[in-house]
Amino acid sequence: MMNNISVITMFFLSGLSETMKYKFTLFSLTLLCYCLIFLVNVSVIVTIILDKNLHEPMYILLCVLCINGLYGTTGFYPKFLWDLLSPVHVISYSGCLVQAQVMYSFACSDLSILAVMAYDRYVAICQPLEYHSIMSKKRLIKLACYSWLTPFCIMGINVFLTSRLKLCSPYIARLFCVNWIIVRLACYPAETTVNSIVAYMTIIIYVFHGLFIVLSYMILIRTCVNSKENRAKFMQTCVPHLTSLITFLVTILFDVMNMRMRSSDFPQPLQNFIAIEFLVIPPIMNPLIYGFKLTKIRNRILGVLTFKTKLCMY
């Protein structure tokens, strides 16, 4: 067995095995989806960077959220598109660990950014006179770095612990590499105890992020009930954030349940859809929700489009 373990340098991704007869249709739809994700996120990022009127904490955090969306989807779509055109779906051992790191540091970063955005809205509505002193440029940079670096380091620890395991199988029944699925391939379950402890600690950390967001919104709603001005501010800036949060949590919840419950009774295509929801819905919905709901961004994008349309007419 030890000899077999030592030669596992590649993983075989078997998630596509039941859908390869539709590979060209899937390729076209996936490419269209990735192009849409890239277009809408880059549009919001460029709009915020170029317009100095949008250099405010709320918009900068939205920019950070969109950049994170591009980071996460880049870890999946190029490889998936290649697999759709390839007869063999393989990934190197190191590439698999890198993909697992990217995918789930992206997911954890999304929740961290949404938590920071909830804090920003809480300060803006509940402490408006102190908003600019609390959400200073220096603090904003620290919060943005926290929302990126902390999840990256936490997932790095999870992936590092996985890299020390002796594996007995190179087969992953998914479209992409997932840290917990790799852990299941360990030859000796006793060796995965530390992995399980760290994984559950990670889940607890991000459950607290979710609770923090819920608590923030409970306070915000209570504050806004008796003030017409605060209600208008809540509807304008908090509803998009709340929609993004619900979208993200629902997609992640389905993915975690799919992994932890060993849902082998579900058809493979359904498992695939559940697995990639968080890589399709939030990266598209976040920039669209904010782009249409936040007046400054909507007006700026529409202004640019109108200007380009007039130039083309001339």
If we measure between CA atoms, which residue out of 163, 209, 213 comes closest to residue 186? 163
Quick one: residue 100, left, alpha or beta (phi over 0 = left, psi -120 to 50 = alpha)? alpha
Is residue 6 predicted with pLDDT exceeding 60? no
Rounded CA separation 25/15 (Å): 16
**218's tokens:** 């409970």
Centre a 10 Å sphere on the Cβ of residue 302 and count the other Cβ atoms it contains: 11
What is the C-alpha to C-alpha distance for residues 265 and 101, in angstroms, rounded to an integer? 28
Cβ atoms of 11 and 184 closer than 8 Å:
no
Distance between CA atoms of residues 164 and 9, nearest Å: 14
pLDDT at 32 over 90: yes
pLDDT of residue 15: 75
- What pLDDT score was predicted for residue 26? 87
Residue 42: which of 60, 66, 21 has the closest Cα? 66
Q: What CATH number is given for 10-312 in this structure?
A: 1.20.1070.10
Q: How far is CA 54 from the centre of its chain?
A: 23
Residue-wise pLDDT tens digits, 40-87: 999 889 888 988 888 889 889 999 999 999 999 999 999 999 988 888
pLDDT at 10: 87
Task: Domain ranges for the chain, please list them.
Answer: 10-312
